[in-house]
């Protein structure tokens, strides 16, 4: 009968390449292949072929052959999360601010128009309700214009590849 230490002793005699490849091993190799493809080290056909071989691989040795000619390390296995440069500000996302402003504005609309407010002798609504509606409309328009401005600035910066536009006039030597 085999004891708990016998399993470890049996696997110590074999090399890592003889071990059966796990799903995580295959995913790691596919990640390296993706990084190599994105960096231009693999052509599309070769990438597709190697990914197919990674899915069909049964042992770690078969997986190792697929990445033997590729650089292994932090560069090849990095995540695709973009890295910010030194001193660079994070990308501003106006969507959440615009969503909150829209929800608040819709609430003010419901508050001012749905209930029947008491009117004065001339049939006008109370002045504080009118001021609330006008002020929230102006605030909502301001937030909307700012959000659109942030989106346009983000698109321009993305299109320029992060380069800043020079707004000074160009001076030529005389």
Q: What is the pLDDT of residues 24-81, one digit of tens each?
A: 889 998 989 998 889 888 899 999 999 999 999 999 889 889 988 887 654 444 455 5
Q: Say if CB 95 and CB 61 are below 8 A apart.
A: no
Question: Backbone dihedral region of 166: left (phi > 0), alpha (psi from -120 to 50 degrees) or beta?
Answer: beta
Q: Is residue 86 part of a domain?
A: no
What's the rounded Cα separation, in Å, for the pair 61 and 59?
A: 5
The tally of domains found in the chain comes to 2
pTM of the model: 0.40
Q: Is residue 5 part of a domain?
A: no
pLDDT at residue 8, rounded to an integer? 47
Do 100 and 155 belong to one domain?
yes
Write the pLDDT tens digit of every residue in 73-119: 544 444 555 555 566 666 667 888 888 889 999 998 888 888 777 77
Do 142 and 120 belong to one domain?
yes
pLDDT at residue 14, rounded to an integer? 52
Q: Is residue 131 part of a domain?
A: yes
Do 63 and 99 belong to one domain?
no
Q: Is residue 168 part of a domain?
A: no
Q: Is residue 167 part of a domain?
A: no
Q: Is residue 58 part of a domain?
A: yes
Range of the domain at 71: 15-81
The torsion angles phi and psi of 59, rounded to 5 degrees, stand at: -125, 165
Do 76 and 108 belong to one domain?
no
Do 76 and 125 belong to one domain?
no
Q: Is residue 100 part of a domain?
A: yes
Q: Is residue 64 part of a domain?
A: yes
CB neighbours (10 Å) of residue 36? 20
């Amino acid at each position: 009968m085999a004891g708990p230490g016998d399993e470890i002793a049996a696997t110590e005699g074999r090399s890592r390449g003889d071990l059966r490849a796990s799903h995580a091993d295959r995913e790691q190799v596919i990640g390296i292949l993706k990084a190599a493809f994105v960096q231009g080290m693999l052509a599309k056909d070769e990438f597709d072929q190697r990914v197919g071989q990674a899915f069909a691989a049964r042992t770690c040795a078969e997986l190792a052959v697929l990445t033997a000619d590729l650089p292994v390390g932090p560069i090849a296995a990095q995540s695709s999360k973009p890295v910010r440069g030194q001193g660079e500000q994070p990308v501003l996302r106006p969507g959440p601010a615009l969503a909150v402003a829209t929800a608040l504005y819709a609430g003010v609309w419901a508050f001012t128009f749905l209930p029947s407010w008491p009117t004065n002798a001339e049939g006008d609504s109370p002045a504080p309700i009118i001021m609330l509606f006008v002020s929230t409309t102006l605030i909502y328009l301001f937030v909307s214009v700012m959000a659109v401005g942030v989106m346009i600035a983000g698109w321009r910066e993305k299109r320029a590849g992060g380069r800043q536009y020079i707004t000074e006039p160009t001076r030529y030597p005389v």
